[in-house]
Structure 1
Amino acid sequence: MLMGLASMSQMAVELLLKLQSDSEESDDDVDSHNAYDTRLLVAFTDMLTTVERQFWAQKTSTEWWDHLVMQVWDDEQWLQKFWMRKATFMRLCAELAPALQRKDMRLRAALPVEKQVAIAIWKLANPDSYRLVANQFGVGKSTVGITLIQVCRAINHIRRTVTLGNVHDIVAGFAQMVFPNCGGVIDGTHIPILAPAHLDSKYINRKGYFSMVLQALVDHRGRFIDINAGWSGKVHDARIFQNTGLFRKLQAGTFFPDRKITVGQGSSNYCCGLDPAQGFHLLCPPTNRGEANS
């Protein structure tokens, strides 16, 4: 269509130039020739402006998201696919709504905040490609990529302080798991990344891929108490732990409240359970000279 318009416009220009040259040779018919040129130009302009515009959009279905996920799925299914319950998901959407709310456009309706967050969480929680996620939610592949970036930016601007919570409840919860006097469990996980070309050797982990380490301390219900992220995957978990503020607070006996427990013939604060792969089993921060870690 564009090639046809270009050729037609070239012919029209050549015709106008010819008519103008003919009009210069005949002074008697100047007015008639000018009028004809004007009519020809107007007709050609009308032809260009009356070209029918067609908007193409792929037909997709949102039945899976609108009906099945939002109305039928229970908490177990939400936990399996989104790694959170529906109530938690809705609270997250409420916090992100001011940053993600969009107005409807003339050609299409804006994606609801819930659907934007669901697309991003699904992509982060599952190893699906952009195309599969797009088909799942009934959107375009490019929409998945844009939505993921926008939701991650909105989450990054949430200022939320991770707190210890009720220590008595945490210790009681671990005691029911046959793990007495424990105030938290810590471990690290490797997050795959695309390492910088000039630093790739520093980010390759023992499993053979590039990553950054997220270290987390959780309570008896799996909720975050303390987090630390940013170390390269090559660094050992024990070294990361020993260079965190959590370790320094535990050593100083200031992380947990001033509550003593009896360990042998001495006393200590609550302990922190660690991953055995790190070379530790329990860390009980000393509060008095002579007290030893257990």
Structure 2
Amino acid sequence: MVLMQVCTAINRTLLRRTVTLGNVQDIVDGFAEMGFPNCGGAIDGTHIPILSPPHLASEYVNRKGYFSVVLQALVDHRGRFTDIYSGWPGKVHDARIFRNSALFRRLRAGTFFPDRKITVGDVEMPTVILGDPAYPLMPWLMKPYTGKLDRSKDRFNYRLSRCRMTVECAFGRLKARWRCLYGKLDLGESSISAVISTCCTLHNICEGKGERFSEEWTSEVRRLEDEFAQPESRATREAQERASRIRDALREQFDAESQQ
């Protein structure tokens, strides 16, 4: 099949050179300008519609009722993919996918980012990534406060959300450029992941080269998103004590900055 030959060639020669972390200082500076210090990326998952698979089909039915596989992606401040992980069935929770990824293992081991810590208040903070409530709160993964929010927690959530928009926008631009990701891919599981990886690689090349992006594509994607709505993330309450101290210190710093 010509499609898979092309995808295999692109993934073999370009994927690791293109979907890569790049200059961490530039990324940290970019997110700092957006309001969040020592941030190395924003993470999220998105569902890619597929046809009913021949095996274990019920595992691929997501909370919106259609068959899908999940693409987990980390993006930089410009919306370029720096890490991708795809192929898990749509029924699986984002947190479980994350825990099974190489990204999780490298972040936990402290090997994904260079060792670059800052002090917030009296708390030491490593380079972090930003996630939504579906992800666990870790010293290296900040997520929003949930439940009853006061003004300072709202302010923290706003800053985090503003930076997390980069990954949502990246998914939108990815799907707008490569409409096959809304085409209920009629391929085997391994082939689907290869096509997704190829699209992510080409997305980074287009973004890096300043390739023209038509807003008409976005309006078409909105129509398709109505048909294949993204399932809402189920929040996880998992949080490490050290991570809570870092988040609280950031919240207090943001609060102090707002009063200057």
Normalised TM-score (structure 1): 0.44
Which structure has the higher relative contact order (CA within 8 Å, separation 6+)? 2
Tell me the TM-score normalised to structure 2 length: 0.50
